[in-house]
Structure 1
Amino acid sequence: MVAVVRALGWSYVSTLASEGNYGESGVEAFVQSSREAGGLCIAQSIKIPREPKPGEFAKVIGRLMETSTARGVVLFANEDDIRRVLQAATLANLSGHFSWVGSDSWGAKMAPVQGLEEAADGAITILPKRASVPGEGLGGLGGTGEDWEGLGPSPSCPNGVCGPTGRERIGRDSPYEQEGKVQFVIDAVLAMAHGLHSLLGEACPGGGLCAHMDPPDGRRLLTHIRRVAFNGSAGTPVSFNENGDAPGRYDIFQFQGGNGTGAYRAVGQWVQGLHLQEDAMAWGSNSSSPPPSVCSLPCGPGERKKPVKGVPCCWHCELCGGYQYRADLLTC
């Protein structure tokens, strides 16, 4: 998300977090990454209470307007908080002032933006790259009669008169498609299995189980899990880095809408780096580029920058007086 903000040419943004581990740790990681990257300052970091009082979201918008030139706002917030922030911006007649950058909790969901398309217009959101597990990947899953309720008629009873036979298979005999994040659950189980298999080969080289695996040592198992590399359930590579994290792979969307309509459009991806399709992005009818989100505008001719202490992205412009001229950006 830091790379997205920098690619938009922003140097001064605010952050919004829902109270709790997801929101607060997300913003903390964003702020830390922005420090490491350099050239990006945080105007405000606002936390939305877990149980907001009446008028709380109007106060949030009011606080954001205290640094109104920070038009970029990075959100790590739950779906309900996102919607209420957009509602508050609309009620304050500020639709279009802020440009939102939302984490995967926003993703490509319509619920937060329904009826608030103008306030959400131009929002950039991300989602982990994912794919539905193909039918053959679910071929071993059958289920009971109760499991098949709501999935349509069974193959042996196309008119739905008789019950399931128990031989049905999801993906083969039903149009049901797994939700995209299911692949991560399956791949987590597969990573555990590959790690156990690797540990077994090391601890019991003679084959079968041995005393060293009764029970297996958790630390050794973790080491083996972090070494695994295989193609996952959706055909994508699965591996882990030295911190135990899988390589980040994200799709990037922009919500493009207004006048009561709107849709998410894929505008890029992150795979070992950011790839944005700038020609696919839209910024309203009056602009072909993202709105500025900066603390200070460039100084004019004959003016020097006077930096604001402690905020490297901010400065005042001072006119070089008398017979002075500007020698460089900071000196008359």
Structure 2
Amino acid sequence: MPKLLWIFLLVQYIPHISTEVPYLTYSGDIMLGALFPIHKQGEAGELCGQIQDEDGIQPLEALLFTLDEINRNESILPNIKLGAIVRDSCDTPRYAAEQSLDLLQGFMYRSVKTIHPDVFCSNETVKNIVGIIGAQTSQVSLEVARLGRLFKVPQISYLSTAVVLSDQNEFPYFFRTVPSDIHQARAILGVLEVLGYHYASVVHTQTDYGTTGYEALVKYALAGKKVCLAKPLIIQDGNYDDVINNLLKNQMTKVVIVFADRIPAGKLLEAAKNRNVTSKFVWIGSDAWASRESVVYGREEVVEGAIAVQPLRRALPGFSEYFNSLSDLPDNNARNPWYAEYYSTYCNCSLAENIKEMKKAQNICPFKQKSKDAKNVQQQYLHFLRDAVYAFALALDDLRRESCKHTVGVCDKLRLRMYKDLKYYLAKVSFPDVDNFPFRFKNETRDGPARYSIITYYRRPSGEFDWENVGTFQGGEIRDLNLSFSEKNKEASYINSHVTCRRNLCASNEIKIPEGHNDGCCWNCQKCHDFEYKYSEFGCKSCPKEMVPLVRDDGTSDCRLAPEDYLDYTNPWALGALAFAGIGLVMTTITMGVLWKYWNTPVVKACSRELSCVLIMGTFISFCTTFIIVTKPTGFTCGVMRFLIGFCYTLCYAAVVTKTNRISRIFSAQNVVPKCTSPTASVVITLALTSVEVVVLVIWLVIEPASTETISEGKTRILVCKGVDQNFMIGLFFPFLLIISATMYAFKTRKCPGGFNETRFILFTNCINTIHWLAFVPLYLVSADHKIKAVILAYSLSLSGVVQLSCLVLKH
């Protein structure tokens, strides 16, 4: 059997097992269901508590009063009586959901009957219900709206303001005549701004009403930037004393916004009273509890000076006279099954015992009145209930006009359409409210217009307490605000305007360092470090490896890949190396010119002019290599550098080794001319030795092509040739062997005749270069800066070239 059918059959049975639960029936041709918190929420496991003083019976009687008015009006639903069935929600979501099931039987019946035609509904009155009025609190309305969505039941609340109820995807059949809390949050912040309160603490319940209300406050506070909200305190698990203690610890807290339902709000105020916190705070009340007599009763001195924002407070015309007449003759109000209990509780006496005395004395029962002339003070939100009833009545009337044409009463077509099309007519309904302003539901959210009254709790000259209207919030702004501050208000205003903390406007790359209570409302500004970026108003984070902070034009920041840095011709160190190499090139060119000019002289011939040319060529290449080393690394330049470093040294020392070997063999031979000592042979030997290095370098470049890489130094990405240290060591291995060989031959031939004393200069040159390399290699390897390493390599090549040029060529 389908789940829906089980639910329907179960609900059919519920009335038979709950006949002791009273409910009200106002008979009619078309019925409305209604839920009111006749009794308070129960405690200690009970669902229902004591009967309400003002929030239960008055809304119920306002419903009956409005139905009487509509049914007397022949222009609305002519020949059709609009009735109602009223259930007690006890201001408890679970209990209200159970009670609402009775009101939904007709909708369940119609849904089930399409699948199971043999099903019947035993309660004809309930079957005629076309919509629900209520509930009062947001938590109860949420439960009922979730059930109503399943069975497509139009529902109009007259006082539920939670933001979540505006979600038409979640609650497509929910309407309300009051505005959403999102507007209430704007109104509260507007009041604080006008009064100069730029610092406030927030206490809220962990419910849809409390949480969404707080989130709306934060949203508009951040947008306006005029009111700073301290870190919220959440009411949960009965922690009322802890909340008060935390408020007292914050020395800057004078204004406290309480976004809570009336029961937790009342308990919070009771905890404040027990701590004797009677003049410490100015309470800012939300609509769920502010102005409720049951919340502030017995806590008047704590609440004194409180400011609240309420959906527009207006009297319902004619209702006070109607309601007071019920008190004059309570036995005439038989249609209200809860009135006797209300009357007895409110009068603190039995109804039956006082009827005769009342009639005899022509006086009312001695009510617990707030003032001598206050009979039954009308609740100022009842006009929202009136709007809800009129919305249903006029929407039904519009539907009747289109469906019945000239037919009188409830025609068959109207009876068919009012269960499925009423929602669409409610969305379009428009009528004058009690102030003769046009009322209609907002298209996007189906909320009522955003109108609020600003009220304050004050002590009258007589010593009694009451709420008083002091302004309004309409059109998104505060109007006609006229507060006569109590001493508590004045003190709060002074403290808020003299908060001893800085709220500087921080630059885009600065964060806020909280002061005081660490609530984010007071701060100093501090820059993020060079390697950090600003990820929130109050925090910096280090950028990952090879990333640097990026500050955008709109003030937001992030990390981006660090730009590549490399040695180029604009670097001062590079310019020095280029200048040194340039001088070497000039010296080499002049030397070559002189050698060419005196090519056939005995001196030039004696110095092995062919090998000297090879030596000069190698020196020239070593100076040219500097220009490759200090340019931007690329695959091509890295390959050229890798080749030239080894090649230039090999070319130089191959010539030197050949020369010293030739001298050694000449003087070692005894009366025999050694082979391969001619100039041509010497050049061939030099080129053969050089070819070894060339073959090694070419094979190395083929196997491992030259490329670049980036190396992180802090947050800097240095572009260098890949494996530059390895390249350096491998490329110079063979030249190093040639230097050792040349040094050995030079030492061996150091005592040759004077005409052949060139080996002494070669020995001297090699010793200087050896010392130079012994100093250069450790300095190169330990250098952490890759730019400096490149400069060291460039200077070393140039210095080695100068030594060779000076000691081996210019000596002649």
In the other structure, the counterpart of 2:471 is 268
Q: For the structure 1 residues 109 and 193, does the alpha-carbon distance in structure 2 shift closer, same or farther, using more than 3 Å as the test?
A: closer
1:124 to 291, 307, 329: 307
Q: CA–CA distance in 1 between the matches of 2:437 and 2:355?
A: 32
- Which residue of the partner structure matches residue 252 of structure 1? 454
- Distance in 1 (CA, whole Å) between partners of 2:297 and 2:472 is 25
The equivalent of 2:422 in structure 1 is: 221
Alignment of 1:46 with 2:233, yes or no, is yes
Decide whether the 8 Å contact of 1:283 with 1:289 is kept in 2.
no
2:280 corresponds in structure 1 to 97
1:282 and 2:478 correspond: no
- CA 1:112–1:189: 2 relative to 1, 3 Å: closer
Q: Secondary structure at the match of 2:496?
A: coil
User: Counterpart of 2:246?
Assistant: 63
Matched, 1:188 2:388: yes
Report if aligned partners of 1:283, 1:290 keep a CA contact under 8 Å in 2. no
Q: How high is the sequence identity, in percent, across the aligned residues?
A: 24
Q: State the shift of 1:15 in Å.
A: 1.7
Counterpart of 1:316? 524
Q: Map 1:132-211 onto structure 2 (within 5 A).
A: 132-134=316-318, 145=331, 147=333, 159=360, 179-202=379-402
Match of 2:219 in 1: 32
Deviations 1:161-180 (A, max 9, x none): 9xxxxxxxxxxxxx978644
Q: Aligned-pair distance for 1:124? A: 0.5
Partner residue, 2:202 = 15
Considering fraction of residues, name the structure with more strand. Answer: 1
CA drift of 1:134 comes to 0.7
* CA distance in structure 2 between the aligned counterparts of 1:262 and 1:228, rounded to whole angstroms: 40
Q: Secondary structure at the match of 1:215?
A: helix
Q: Is the 2:196–2:493 contact (alpha carbons within 8 Å) kept by the matching residues of 1? A: no
Q: Kindly provide the amino acid, as one letter, of the partner of residue 89 in structure 1.
A: A
Distance 1:316 1:229, change over 3 A: same
Say which SS state the counterpart of residue 107 (structure 1) adopts: coil
Matched AA of 2:427: R
1:279 to 1:10, Cα distance in 2 relative to 1, 3 A: closer
Matches of 1:127 and 1:62 in 2, distance apart?
A: 28
From the superposition, tell whether residues 307 and 187 of structure 1 become closer, same or farther in structure 2 (CA, over 3 Å): same
TM-superposed CA distance for 1:195, in Å, is: 1.6
Asked if structure 2 preserves the Cα contact closer than 8 Å seen for 1:10 and 1:294, the reply is: no
Match for 1:277: what amino acid?
L
Residues 73-105 of structure 1 show CA distances to partners (whole Å, capped at 9, x for unaligned) of 111224443344334335545443322100123
Distance 1:136 1:262, change over 3 A: closer
**How far apart in 2 are the matches of 1:210 and 1:118?**
59
Aligned residue for 1:196, secondary structure, equals helix
Q: What secondary structure does 1:188 align onto?
A: helix
Deviates more, 1:197-206 or 1:19-28: 197-206
Deviations 1:142-163 (A, max 9, x none): 9995516769989xx96599xx
- Secondary structure of the 2:468 match is strand
Cα pair 1:106 1:125 within 8 Å, conserved? no
Distance 2:281 2:491 in 1: 14
Deviation at 1:7, TM superposition (A): 2.0
Match 2:271 to one of 53, 63, 88: 88
CA contact (8 A) 1:229 1:238 kept: yes
Determine if contact 1:44/1:64 at 8 Å carries over to the other structure. Answer: no
Name the counterpart of 2:539: none
Pairwise CA RMSD of aligned residues?
4.5
Q: Distance in 2 between matches of 1:45 and 1:120?
A: 20
Structure 1 residues 34, 225: CA separation in 2 closer, same or farther (over 3 Å shift)? Answer: farther
**d(CA) in 2 for partners of 1:229 and 1:36?**
33
Aligned residues: 295
Q: In 2 relative to 1, CA 186–253 (structure 1 residues): closer, same or farther, beyond 3 Å?
A: closer
Rate the CA distance shift 1:295–1:42 in 2: closer, same or farther, 3 A. farther
Which of 1 and 2 has higher RCO (CA within 8 Å, sep 6+)? 1
Q: After alignment, is 101-110 or 201-210 more displaced?
A: 201-210
C-alpha separation between the residues in 2 aligned to 1:35 and 1:120?
28
Distance in 2 separating the partners of 1:41 and 1:222: 41
Partner amino acid, structure 2, of 1:246: G
Change (3 A) 1:68 1:144: closer
Q: Which consecutive residues of structure 1, in runs of 5 or more, have no partner in the other structure?
A: 162-174, 319-332
Structure 1 CA distance for aligned equivalents of residues 279 and 223 of structure 2:
30
How far did 1:191 drift? 0.4
Task: Return the TM-score normalized by structure 2.
Answer: 0.31
Counterpart secondary structure, 1:280: coil
Render the CA deviation track for 1:240-266: whole Å, top value 9, x for unaligned.
2222111133222222349x8644333
Structure 2 residue identity aligned to 1:251? S
Q: 1:195 to 1:42 in 2, by over 3 A?
A: same
CA drift of 1:14 comes to: 2.2
Residue 291 of structure 2 aligns to a residue whose secondary structure is: coil
Worse-superposed segment, 210-219 or 65-74: 210-219
- My pick for the range that moved more, 261-270 or 109-118, is 109-118
Contact 1:130 1:183 in 2 (8 A): yes
- Residue by residue over 1:220-276, the C-alpha shift from the partner in whole angstroms, topping out at 9 and shown as x without a partner, is 533322222212467564322222111133222222349x86443332222333225
Please state whether the residue corresponding to 1:44 is helix, strand or coil. coil
Q: Is the 8 A contact 1:137 1:233 kept in 2?
A: no
Distance 1:226 1:16 in 2: 35
CA distance in 2, matches of 1:176, 1:262: 16
Mapped to 2, the partners of 1:144 and 1:94 lie a distance apart of: 41
Give distance in 2, aligned partners of 1:212 and 1:67.
65
Higher percent of residues as helix: 2
Q: Distance in 2 between matches of 1:76 and 1:233?
A: 28
CA distance in 1, matches of 2:386, 2:277: 44
Partner SS state of residue 252, structure 1: strand
Matched, 1:5 2:5: no
Q: CA deviation at 1:65?
A: 3.9
- Alpha-carbon distance in structure 1 between the residues aligned to 2:193 and 2:267: 27
Contact 1:70 1:294 survives alignment (8 Å): no
Code of the residue aligned with 1:314 in structure 2: it is: C
Residues 292-324 of structure 1, C-alpha deviations (whole Å, 9 max, x = no match): 178763489xxx997526987432279xxxxxx
In structure 2, what is the Cα distance between the partners aligned to 1:62 and 1:176? 38
How many angstroms does 1:72 deviate by?
Answer: 1.9
Alignment CA distance shift 1:113-1:195 (3 Å): closer
Q: Kindly provide the amino acid, as one letter, of the partner of residue 7 in structure 1.
A: V
Does the Cα contact within 8 Å between 1:72 and 1:98 map onto a contact in 2? Answer: yes
> 1:8 & 1:279 partners in 2: Cα distance?
9
Distance 1:4 1:307, change over 3 A: farther
Q: 1-side partners of 2:224 and 2:432: how far apart?
A: 32
